[in-house]
Structure 1
C-alpha cells in the first residue's frame, strides 16, 4: 500500500527528532572534549584544581607551623619534623587522591605530565594551584603569628658545609625516591586504594630524616619558592632555582620515566614481557594477559587515570 501524506509527515518528524538528538549528542561530545590540549572544562576538572590548591595549602600550613622557632637557642627537632610532615602527606593524599591524584607538588605533576598520566593544560593548572595554595598559607601565617616565632616559614636552606651543586644532587636523589614511590604506589594492582597514601608519606618521612640537615629536604618547589617569594628572599634566587626547582623536577622526571619504561609491565617490550610472565610471582591470569597484544582501546582505557 502506498504511503499516505500523514505517513510521510510522520516519517519526516521522526527523522528530524533523530537528527536533533544526534546533533545534541554531537554538541555534548564537543563540550566534553573541552578546550583541547588535555583540558576538560568540567566539574571534575574544577574539583581537581581546587583539591590541589587546598591540599597544598594545608601541607604548607603544617610545614610552616612545624618549623616555628619557639626558642632560638634550640635546634629544630628533625625527628619530630619528619614525622609531622610524613603524617601530613599520608593524611592529605588519603583525602584528595580520588579527586585529583593528590600531587600537591609541582615536581610530581611535571613527572606525571611527562609520562602522559596527566594532561598538559591540566598539569599547568595543577601547578598554578599548588603555588597559589602554598603562597596563601605562608601569607596567612605571616599575618596571624608573632614575628618573633616565625622562623623560616617553610623556607628551606642549604647547609653551609655543602655547595649548591651538591645540594642540587641531594634534592635530585630525594625527589627521585619520593616520585618513584608515588608512581609505583598509584599502580592499582599493587595496593588497596586506602593504602596508597601510606608508602608515599613514609617516603617523604624517610627523605626528611636523612636529608633535612643538608637542604631542608624540600622535594617540593612550591614549598620553598612560595616561602621565598612571600618573604622576599631575593638574594638567593640562583641557589633556589638550581637546588629547589631544577633538582626536584629533574629527579621526579627521571624517576617517572625509569618506572614507566622499565618497571611498569604495560610498557615492557614483547620479548621482556614473555620473560616476566614466567616469574613465580605472577599469577596465571596475569601471565595470559601479559602475552596478549594490547589493542589501542585497552591502551586508552589503561591511561585514563589522571588524564583529561
Structure 2
C-alpha cells in the first residue's frame, strides 16, 4: 500500500476523513479464548435482563390501571413507549463500549449480515440476549406473580381485528426503522464529520424504539426484538403466548436484513465499491 512519506499514513486515508474498519471474519473461533468476548456476553445478558424487567413491569402496571378503570392515572401507551425507548437509550449508552449495545437479536443479525460481527459472536449474543430476557421476565413474575398471570405477562399478541400479514408487516417495518437507525448512528463516516454523534448515538436509537412503539403497540404490542417477545412467552408458557410467536422472529429478522442491505449496499454503495476495486485491479 502506498504511503505518504512524511506522515507514514496510507495515502487512501488522506483522501477521506473517516476510516471503515475491515469486515469481521465470518467465523472467528479465536474469540472464544478472549475475556473481552465473555465480558461482552455478560453485558448483553445483564442489559437485556434489565430491559425486560423494567419494560414488562411497566406493561403490567398499565394493564392493572386499565383493569381498575382508572387508565387516565396510569402511564398509558405513551408511557409504555417511553419506557421501552428510554431503557434502550440508557442501556445502549452503558454497554456500547463493551458489547456494542445490541440488546436485540434482530440488531445482532443485521450487524452480522453487514459483517460487523462474526458468526460466533452473533450466535453467542443472541443466546445471551434470550437468556437475559427470560431472566428479566422471571424476576417480574417472582415479584408480582398474581399480576403477572392476570395480565398475560406482557407477552406480544396479535390484536383482534388484525391479520397475521398485517402483524408481520408491522414487525418488518418497525424493525427496519430501528436497525436502519443503528447503522446510521454508528456509521464511521458520520462519526468523523460530526464529532458529537458518538456521544449521542444511543439517543436516536432510543427514539426509534419509542416512535415505533407508538405506531405498532395497537397492532402487535410491538416486538421488533425477538428476545423481548421470547422471554415473556417462555415464562407465561401458555398456548396463546406461542400462537403468533413466529411473527416476532420472522418479522424482525426480515426487517433487519432489509436495513442491512439498504444501508451497506445502497447508501454506502459497498457493492459498487467492490466492483470498482475489482475492475481497477483487473487492469494491473
Selected match of 1:204 from 209, 213, 220: 209
**Structure 2 residue aligned with 1:43:** 35
| Superposed displacement of residue 156, structure 1 | 1.4
SS in 2 for 1:190: helix
Summarize the alignment of residues 259-270 of structure 1 with structure 2, pairs less than 5 Å apart: 259-264=263-268, 267=270, 269-270=272-273
> Which digits, 9 at most, give the CA deviation of each residue in 1:243-275, with x for residues without a partner?
10100111111111111111125x1525999xx
Summarize the alignment of residues 267-282 of structure 1 with structure 2, pairs less than 5 Å apart: 267=270, 269-270=272-273
Runs of 5+ consecutive residues of structure 1 not aligned to the other structure: 1-32, 274-292, 295-308
How many angstroms apart in 2 are the aligned matches of 1:198 and 1:272? 35
**Structure 1 residue aligned with 2:249:** 245
Summarize the alignment of residues 25-174 of structure 1 with structure 2, pairs less than 5 Å apart: 36-37=28-29, 39-68=31-60, 69-71=63-65, 72=67, 73-74=69-70, 77-148=76-147, 151-174=151-174
How many angstroms apart in 2 are the aligned matches of 1:163 and 1:270? 41
Moved over 6 A (4+): none
TM-score computed with the length of structure 1 as normaliser: 0.72
How many angstroms apart in 1 are the aligned matches of 2:251 and 2:99? 24
How many angstroms apart in 1 are the aligned matches of 2:42 and 2:239? 29
**Over the residues paired in the alignment, what is the CA RMSD in angstroms?**
2.5
TM-score computed with the length of structure 2 as normaliser: 0.78
Asked if 2 retains the 8 angstrom alpha-carbon contact of 1:38 and 1:121, the reply is no
Larger gyration radius, structure 1 or structure 2: 1
Q: Which region of structure 1 is more displaced relative to structure 2, 182-191 or 200-209? A: 182-191
**Structure 2 residue aligned with 1:226:** 231
Q: Which region of structure 1 is more displaced relative to structure 2, 145-154 or 173-182? A: 145-154
| Superposed displacement of residue 149, structure 1 | 5.7
Runs of 5+ consecutive residues of structure 2 not aligned to the other structure: 1-24, 192-196
Asked if 2 retains the 8 angstrom alpha-carbon contact of 1:182 and 1:200, the reply is yes
